[in-house]
């Protein structure tokens, strides 16, 4: 069974709380719900790729580019769809990190999200509306299909 919409939104809430304070490695996104997928590694891989795409598309997060990795979202998403999160090369999942934009920080702060918070219904409703407004609603998956 896949995670419920509420479980997925709660994972987004936690990761966005983290990103509102610090960078988070791409490979760590949605780790809290991996065990809820029938094929855990594959399920979270797709969910994390969708998460990255959603948050960047909605201007809630951005990438901290490092080293020799080219700053190109097309190449980034192609690589993330091709190589699983814990594969060491070419390094996109493990070396790159995401951080919350001002829009993310504002959303987290307005809803008073704390580390141990249950899913905040008002936060969840607003986040879903943002996703829908940008055409990347939670009902749309895969946004970029994994290739494995």
DSSP conformation letters of 39-87: SHHHHHHHHHHHHHHHHHHTTSEEEE--TT----HHHHHHHHHHS-TT-
Region of residue 112 (left: phi > 0; alpha: psi -120 to 50; beta: else): left
Work out the average pLDDT over 139-145.
97
Of the candidates 71, 68, 78, 3, the one whose C-alpha atom is nearest the C-alpha of residue 33 is: 3
Q: What are phi and psi for residue 90, nearest 5 degrees? A: -85, 10
pLDDT of 108-129, one tens digit each? Answer: 999 999 998 999 999 999 999 9
pLDDT of 13-44, one tens digit each? Answer: 999 999 999 999 999 999 889 888 888 889 99
pLDDT of 63-120, one tens digit each? Answer: 998 877 788 999 999 999 999 988 867 788 988 999 999 999 999 999 999 998 999 9
Domain boundaries, the chain: 5-133
Q: Which two tokens stand for residue 107?
A: 């959303």
């Amino acid at each position: 069974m896949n995670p419920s919409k509420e479980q997925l939104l709660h994972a987004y809430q936690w990761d966005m709380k983290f990103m509102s304070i610090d960078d988070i490695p791409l490979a760590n996104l949605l780790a809290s719900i991996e065990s809820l997928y029938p094929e855990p590694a594959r399920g979270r891989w797709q969910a994390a790729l969708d998460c990255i795409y959603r948050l960047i598309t909605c201007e809630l997060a951005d990438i901290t580019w490092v080293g020799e990795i080219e700053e190109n979202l097309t190449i980034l998403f192609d690589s993330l769809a091709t190589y699983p999160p814990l594969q060491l090369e070419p390094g996109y999942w493990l070396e790159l990190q995401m951080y919350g934009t001002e829009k993310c920080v504002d959303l987290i702060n307005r809803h008073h999200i704390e580390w141990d918070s249950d899913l905040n219904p008002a936060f969840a409703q607003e986040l879903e509306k943002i996703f829908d407004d940008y055409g990347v609603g939670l009902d749309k998956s895969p946004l970029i299909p994994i290739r494995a």
